[in-house]
Amino acid sequence: MPGSIGHEKQDATTFASWMIEDSNLCSFKQGIDYLKYDNCYNDDTRPTIRYQAMSNALQETGRPIFFSICEWGDMRPALWGANLGNCWRTTDDISDSWDRMLKVADLNEVFADYAKPGGWNDPDMLEVGNGGMKYSEYVVHFSIWAISKAPLLLGCDVRNLSNETLQIISNEEVIAINQDPLGVQAKKVRMEGEQEIWAGPLSGDRIVVLLENRKPWSSKMIAHWDDIGFNSTNTVVEARDIWEHTTLTTKFQGKLTTNVEARACKMFVLTPLTN
């Protein structure tokens, strides 16, 4: 199919000029905010050259269009993508399976230090709602993408969303973590077999911690303060369970211990009460 090679300026100008009708205001407004630029049939043009051309063309339009680079992580775009676009695919395509989702998440996590406001690692679209995983597995999927500050792009048929799917993708507390203004991608801080602790700082001196159990049976898991980023093991925190929408009555010091079901996770936002 025709692509944009050699026509970047023409296409960028076209995208920026397209208008959509705002029925509420009975007026028109510019409607193109996001461009995902794929790398299929690239005529063997080096990605850094191809994406530079489209990046320049988009900037020349004067319209702020989010530029998503997608060359499937072939040339480690996390190392150079921030100079050209707003996000970059760090992996090959995802698919709707537990094993593939985890593999993509693991590959993306390697580049966590390169993400920052204005430039994000992209482990591909969400599979939530496509039916290939169980509810708890989709919760893990959505949680990892959220704490990774990845673009939360729905890859399911939005015309036919189940209640379970809506429950996941409309969780405002999880989305708020993804959109936290500090913009720091969470990382794995401890791995013990198929048990993983992910953590990352949030605005307001808070920390998000994800306890992920990849085992086919439930397990006790522990998040230690010296792993997840608190300055002192004496810090007392309040824990907010993001999926249960509940602030725990127990206050925690030094560590948080909880039971996590098979192929499931628990996510907490920890707010320090003392140092």
Active site residues: 38, 93
Task: Locate 5 and state its tokens.
Answer: 């090679």
Tokens 């920052």 correspond to: 116
Q: Is 237 exposed, middle or buried (0-12, 13-18, 19+ CB in 10 A)?
A: buried
Q: Is 4 in contact with 36 (CB distance < 8 Å)?
A: no
Pairing type for strands 34-38 and 66-70 reads parallel
Cβ neighbour number for residue 12 with a 10 Å cutoff: 25
Reading phi first (left if > 0) and then psi (alpha if -120 to 50, else beta), residue 253 is in beta
Query: Quick one: angle between helices 47-61 and 8-17, nearest 10?
Result: 40
Q: Is 213 in contact with 193 (CB distance < 8 Å)?
A: no
Q: Is 233 exposed, middle or buried (0-12, 13-18, 19+ CB in 10 A)?
A: exposed
E strand intervals along 129-244: 187-192, 195-202, 206-213, 219-224, 236-241
Helix (H, G, I), strand (E, B) or coil at 246: strand
Q: 74-79, long-range: CB within 8 Å, 24+ apart, which pairs?
A: 74/39, 74/47, 75/47, 75/48, 76/111, 77/47, 78/111, 78/114, 78/115, 78/121, 79/114
